[in-house]
Amino acid sequence: MSTNENATRGTRSWRRWIAPGFAVLCGLVYVAGGWYGGDRVFALGGLAVMLVIAVVLLVLGRTSETVTGLLDRRDERINSIDGTATVFAGMTLMLAVLIGFVVEVARGQDGRPYAMLATIAGVAYVAAIVVLRARR
């Protein structure tokens, strides 16, 4: 085995731990937030859910070509599918936020939380357009 193959294998071995590690980190943030807020069920339940997700990612990362591709980011086809899925999810979420805003206002409630979410998404979108346009 060449040195280059060892380096590639080493890179792949740590990359597969990024998403599960992030899931565990999120679980720990849930514990801190829930504990601080006095909701022990949320704290421990959130940690449990995120630990299960981390384990599922590790197991599927070894058996599923799709999950492996999403975790190591080297497969252009899977990256393209991921990009399209991300756009679909983002547009669906934006539609839900806008519908939530209209429903809240129609009920005579303050639609400000939905308006703030829509504003954050809109600003992020415009910023991404500007940055991506400047890079190309």
pLDDT at 33: 97
Residue 54, pLDDT score: 95
Q: CA of 96: how far to CAs of 34, 37, 59, in Å?
A: 26, 28, 33
Of 123, 104, 122, nearest to 113 by C-alpha is 104
Q: Are residues 64 and 9 in the same domain?
A: yes
Q: What is the pLDDT along the chain (136 residues), one digit of tens a residue?
A: 555 555 555 555 677 788 999 999 999 999 999 999 999 999 999 999 999 999 999 999 888 888 888 888 788 998 899 999 999 999 999 999 999 999 999 999 999 999 999 999 999 999 999 999 998 7
Q: Choose one of 31, 49, 74: the last residue of a domain.
A: 74
Residue 46 to residue 75: CA distance in whole angstroms: 31
Q: Are residues 69 and 81 in the same domain?
A: no
Which domain-ending residue is among 74, 95, 125? 74
The answer on 63 and 96 residing in a single domain is no
* Pair 2, 50 in one domain: yes
pLDDT at 23: 96
Same-domain check for residues 95 and 132 = yes
The predicted pLDDT at position 111 comes to: 94
- Characterize 74-105 residue by residue with b for buried, 16 or more Cβ atoms within 10 angstroms of its Cβ, and e for exposed: eeeebeeeeeeeeeeeeeeeeeebbebbeebe
Number of domains in the chain: 2
List the domain range (segments joined by +) for residue 38: 1-74
Structure confidence by residue, pLDDT tens digits, 34-73: 999 999 999 999 999 999 999 999 999 888 888 888 888 7
HSE of 110, CA atoms in CB hemisphere, 13 A: 3
Q: Are residues 59 and 114 in the same domain?
A: no
